Structure 1
């Protein structure tokens, strides 16, 4: 039986539900897959062989599956880092096809997957199914136990893959929340205007840049933050995009722009008011944010989107406090608001671990 995106998931669920002993050799796993297995499988044995070591599997899902195995005897999970197959084997049928479970090698998950076209075969011929089972059993012998060390390495690889996955949007304001997550974009929110002394120091840093032999310093537009040291509770990260904005006394969000740190121009000066050392963190203007443009008009649109969240995080907080937070924190908040602060797991269950391709 030929499987497409319209019936792939249905047949996969059926194989899980009707099989007492099920073997899954599926390379890449993403968020929602653990919910599918927990609901659909109730048999005697479920052996899962995944590829945890190349960055295409979400380690959180594997952690959840390992935790589930403590309550569900017969559930076992091993990793084989050269696995690229997508095969499910039950006692009556087997499936071989293009689909990973909820995620692909580029790290797409959940709503990011909508629209991908799948193809596979549902195999009922018992001789072929037995050949597939023998193939799986041989691979299982070479599978490795999943240790905490392996999971931590996988987490770093996963985040790296998530950050480099391709985008379809050309503008930041047009990108979906799901596609913006895990991009290592930060938001810097400041309240106070700079002192005259800091402006003088920044002018000196600008002159230093113009005398530099480095094209990246000669041609970049510079700005700065005053008194935001690297040892603060929420330091400004290096080598990543920073969306900086002012949240003024009238609770307006203004001056939103994309920047990155230029640490070679950072300065320390002695305050003429407090006689204490003050940091000056220099920033270079970015033309794009992870490949997406952010025009002046688009900045205003994005600022309006951010404002309710900023109002909330400053509610009851020192109005002069500057904040540096991951964009993911805002996106998670926005998702909770959109869902009425319900358990987000319901959305994952609704999508029922959509099966998607890899590259």
Structure 2
């Protein structure tokens, strides 16, 4: 067998992976050499590993994350789900890129500071803010997340909040064509939530400020000059859905076992719950159902997401993809939770 082994330079030439990449994927546990010379440290590979190296090279070119590359190589039975999820992300990213380029063209063609206005039903706007307020970030190192993002779509304005570990979104219908793309600061959000608003609310954006006016309140604030992160690809996650009774699941989470993990770089801890999603529903803890999808999530984050309604659906594509929680009565209202890896700190 040793006479058939290939040196790292030969494998690099045959696979298209640089020598440095082969060393990296060895250290990452993706592509381990068949033999390492104990005296020189030189790596040798079997001829069959050239195919694996070519596979890794192709996955690397399409930007598949390292953990996903490892899954495809080590657990090929999972490859279909992993690659389908990545293709969905790429397609969503292309849609986002087209949208951003369209905005760039608009700005180039209209260099003057435009004014945009939109009238929204006040009660529905406040309800949408309340549904997603829990996901607003308060990390001082993340100012671009300190508020609720207002993002125009055909026939409605989408509201988005995220702290990077979770995302919540809702929407308010509008009959006007508008072009709102701005972060509504947290203090403005909280002032609107504390007011008893009725009728309609007018949103006017211009010259770096946003003004919200209703029959009982006028709020004016500077529009933060920040780039809110691209979020739309996350809205496509969780296509394998099952209905859940939110109150029953909250009770099960309160009684179920948890695991305590620490935040990286801090002494703080948080509780993690394990969920199994199968055809019969969502269960707290692992089950014997080999067809069930098992995912670990921050328990408090999940409990907060479950408070938006009574009848919800939970969706999961695979154990490494985000968990989606949707309100069946308000289809545009949903939360997305990042999964927690139990083999390392989050």
User: Scaled by the length of structure 1, what TM-score is found?
Assistant: 0.22
Greater Rg by CA: 1
> Higher relative contact order by CA 8 Å / sep ≥ 6: 1 or 2?
1
User: Scaled by the length of structure 2, what TM-score is found?
Assistant: 0.22
Larger strand share, 1 or 2: 2
